[in-house]
Amino acid sequence: MRIYIPFYSRGGNTESMAKYVAEGVRQVEGAEAILAFVGDPCTPEEIRKDFDAWHQTHERLMDEYPRATIEDLAECDGACFGSPTRYGNAAGPMRNFFDMMGPLWVEGSLEGKPAGCFTSSNTMHGGQETTIFTMWAPIAHLGMIIVPLGYIIEEIHTTQFGGTPYGPSHVAGRNADRPVDETEATICRALGKRVTEIAVKLA
């Protein structure tokens, strides 16, 4: 089982979540988690360079991860898509990645494959669920099988920060520097494991 984890991250929070989602994938014997950075075709480099932390994180992610491609996505058995929350919506680079999937839609390459979504935002009520919902729309058009979490693990009942029945979330705080806590990490792992287990059943 090959589970693709394309993510966008400007500050590293969604990247941290993606790593925990990958751990959950690997909890299923024989499963491979493939992390891939979608890059940032939406922001002119000179603008990014005006923000040191943004620019440095972007350069690091470009070095550390392969670029997400629709070809690699098409070859996988399932996927988990991660994006920061942007005004209650997915970030431009992730939406651009969905926009590039036209050929996969035409060919039906993703039909019947399971997919889940995760997000990080500064505030607890700042649009995490709507961000996951907006990523569900293109996933539905592509014919993928949307995988929510429900309340499959106790942590979704008890979390004091991120984690929703729709998918994992993380509350980064006002300065976007609050690390993913152990409860949020457990919920991330639960998504990776669940998408993989469903991919196994479907295969």
Ligand X SMILES: Cc1cc2nc3c(=O)[nH]c(=O)nc-3n(C[C@H](O)[C@H](O)[C@H](O)COP(=O)(O)O)c2cc1C
Which residues bind to ligand X, rule: CB under 6 A?
9-14, 84-88, 120-123, 126-127, 172, 176
12 or 168: CB nearest ligand X: 12
Residue nearest to ligand X (CB): 126
Distances 121 to 24, 116, 129, 132, 161 between C-alpha atoms, Å: 21, 17, 10, 11, 11
74 or 176: CB nearest ligand X: 176
CB of 14 to ligand X, least distance (A): 3
Residue with tokens 């990014």: 48
CB of 177 to ligand X, least distance (A): 9
CB of 55 to ligand X, least distance (A): 13
Contacts of 197 (CB under 8 A, 6+ apart): 28
109 or 119: CB nearest ligand X: 119
CA torsion sign, 123 to 79 to 145 to 200? negative
- Report whether 202 contacts 3 (CB < 8 A): no
Residue with tokens 């993380």: 170
CB of 6 to ligand X, least distance (A): 13
Instruction: Please report, as a single letter, which amino acid is at residue 39.
Output: G
53 or 202: CB nearest ligand X: 53
87 or 151: CB nearest ligand X: 87
Cα Rg of the chain (Å, integer): 16
CB of 148 to ligand X, least distance (A): 21
- Report whether 89 contacts 134 (CB < 8 A): yes
